Amino acid sequence: MGLIGEIALQFCQMALVVILAPAVVGLVRKMKARLQRRIGPPVLQPYRDLRRLFGKEVVLPENASWLFRVAPYAIFALTWVAVALVPTFRTGLLFSWCGDLIAIVALLGAARFLQALVALDTGTSFGGIGSSREVMIASLAEPAMIMVVFTVALAAGSSQLSTVADFMAHVGGLRVSFAMALVALIIVALAENARIPVDNPATHLELTMIHEAMLLEYSGRHLAMIEWATALKLLLYISVIGCIFFPFGLITTGGGGPLAYVLAIAAYLFKVIVASLLLASLETAIAKMRVFRVPNLTGIALMLGLLGTLLLFVSGGL
């Protein structure tokens, strides 16, 4: 396939994730509602919300600086680039080598850095509370994520996500280390996406809130960009878990015909739906933790990640 085709595929990947992301949020909400015997909003409701938000005027707080206005676009762009590097339906996309898993983690870190900063920009106490808790949770979740990266990268001999996915699809196999890494990655995903048990994405104005507290002063198109970025981040973690631990259906290097692409995208959609269902049932089944219990949870993720890495050496045959 020529360069044009590769560029087109990369573009498809970027378009696919950005279009799909709000649907995932809608899907999780719908399933949660059904599990709680409510009807719930339609799956496509997040798109309507976004459209509504885009149509509204922006209410800027008086002392907001330029950073407050620039940050939503930057956060959106950082998250979008990060998710564009994750293989969804095919590994080895044109630009997949320009950042490995560590770079993806760092891109998300940069988005969070900006988010936590602009929460302080308005000079309100709620922004501060969100920012403060966000950095506390991230300070353990991010190292845990790095340890998961170590585990899979050491096994696959590369931190490049495409190579890792290729390795898992062809060589892989069952290992205790991978199981530990998977559990750690799920905990990290819950913490990073502000899901139950760490944070509740459905509430405002509770003293327990983290992520939503940082957005309180945002409105209109700025809020829409951040909401969209949040949805992208959720899709990113689902895609990462999918391509590392459940790489079936992925087109690996070499490519295939049009039918293969249809099947691969179908497999990807299937994975996303299953992940949403699992997330919805998890969020329905368990309660939110107290804020200062969260470090225990993320600490467990960190330890699991480290144990996974160390077990690789002990179990031999690296």
Partner 1 sequence: MALLLSCVAGDLILSVLAVILSGWRYATPIVYGGTLVISAILSGIALFAVAQSPMSITLPLGLPWLGAHFRLDALAAAFLLIVNFGGAGVSLYALGYGRHEPEPGRVLPFYPVFLAAMNLVVIAADAYSFLLAWELMSLASWALVIARHRTNGNLRAGYIYLLMASAGTFALLFCFGLLAGAQGNYAFAAIRAHHLAPSLTGLALALALIGAGSKAGLVPFHVWLPLAHPAAPSHVSALMSGVMTKVAIYAFIRIVFDLMGPPQWWWSVAPLLLGGATAALGVLYALMETDIKRILAYSTIENVGIIFIAIGLALAFKASGLAGAAALALTAALFHVLNHMLFKSVLFFGAGTLIVSTGTRDIEKLGGLINRLPYSSAAVLAASIAISALPPFNGFASEWLVFQSILVSPQLPQMGLKLIVPGVGVLLALAAALAAACFVRAFGITYLGRPRTPAAAAAREVDRWSLAAMLGLAALCLFVGLFPGLAIDWLQPVASAMVSGRMPPQSSIAWLSIVPVSASRSSYNGLLLFGFMVAAATIAAAMVHRFASRAVRIAPFWDCGYPNLGPQVQYSATSLSQPIRRVFGSVTFGAHETVDMPAPEDPRPAKLVRTIRDPVWDFLYAPIAVFIDRAAGLLNHIQFLTIRVYLAMVFVALVALLTVLALWG
Choose between 92 and 249: whose C-beta lies nearer to partner 1. 92
**268 and 88 Cβ atoms separated by less than 8 Å:** yes
Q: Among 60, 183, 277, 278, indicate the residue that binds partner 1 (CB under 8 A).
A: 60
DSSP class of 53: H
> How many whole angstroms separate alpha carbon 72 and alpha carbon 53?
13
Rule CB under 8 A: say whether 227 interacts with partner 1: no
Choose between 89 and 228: whose C-beta lies nearer to partner 1. 228
In this chain, which stretch among 40-48, 145-153, 182-190, 242-250 interacts with partner 1, using CB under 8 A? Answer: 145-153
SS3 318: coil
- Count of residues engaged in binding partner 1, rule: CB under 8 A: 87
Choose between 84 and 280: whose C-beta lies nearer to partner 1. 84
Alpha carbon of 89 to those of 19, 80, 187, 207: distances in Å? 15, 16, 24, 40
> How many whole angstroms separate alpha carbon 240 and alpha carbon 19?
17
Strand partners, 251: 90
> Nearest distance from residue 86's CB to partner 1, in Å?
14
Distance of CA 65 to the CA centre of its chain: 28
Q: Among 34, 38, 48, 56, indicate the residue that binds partner 1 (CB under 8 A).
A: 56
Please give the radius of gyration of the chain, using alpha carbons only, rounded to the nearest integer.
19
> How many whole angstroms separate alpha carbon 225 and alpha carbon 170?
38
Choose between 163 and 200: whose C-beta lies nearer to partner 1. 163
> How many whole angstroms separate alpha carbon 62 and alpha carbon 292?
33
Rule CB under 8 A: say whether 300 interacts with partner 1: no
> Nearest distance from residue 193's CB to partner 1, in Å?
17
243, containing H or E segment = helix 220-245
Q: Among 24, 25, 28, 74, indicate the residue that binds partner 1 (CB under 8 A).
A: 74
Please report, as residue ranges, which positions from 246 to 285 form the binding site for partner 1 (by CB under 8 A): none
Please report, as residue ranges, which positions from 161 to 190 form the binding site for partner 1 (by CB under 8 A): 163
Choose between 27 and 149: whose C-beta lies nearer to partner 1. 149
Choose between 34 and 56: whose C-beta lies nearer to partner 1. 56
CA nearest to 185, candidates 161, 220, 202? 161
In this chain, which stretch among 39-47, 50-58, 185-193, 274-282 interacts with partner 1, using CB under 8 A? Answer: 50-58
**87 and 161 Cβ atoms separated by less than 8 Å:** yes
> How many whole angstroms separate alpha carbon 71 and alpha carbon 210?
18
Q: Among 140, 184, 223, 250, indicate the residue that binds partner 1 (CB under 8 A).
A: 140
Rule CB under 8 A: say whether 215 interacts with partner 1: no
Q: Among 89, 126, 178, 237, indicate the residue that binds partner 1 (CB under 8 A).
A: 126
At 314, list the tokens: 């002990």
> How many whole angstroms separate alpha carbon 170 and alpha carbon 129?
46
Binding mask 77-106 for partner 1 (x = CB under 8 A): xx-xx--x----------x-xxxx-xx--x
In this chain, which stretch among 34-42, 220-228, 262-270, 274-282 interacts with partner 1, using CB under 8 A? Answer: 220-228
Q: Among 41, 220, 246, 270, indicate the residue that binds partner 1 (CB under 8 A).
A: 220
Binding mask 3-22 for partner 1 (x = CB under 8 A): -----------x--------
What is the dihedral angle through the alpha carbons of 135, 230, 80, 75, rounded to the nearest 10 degrees?
A: -50
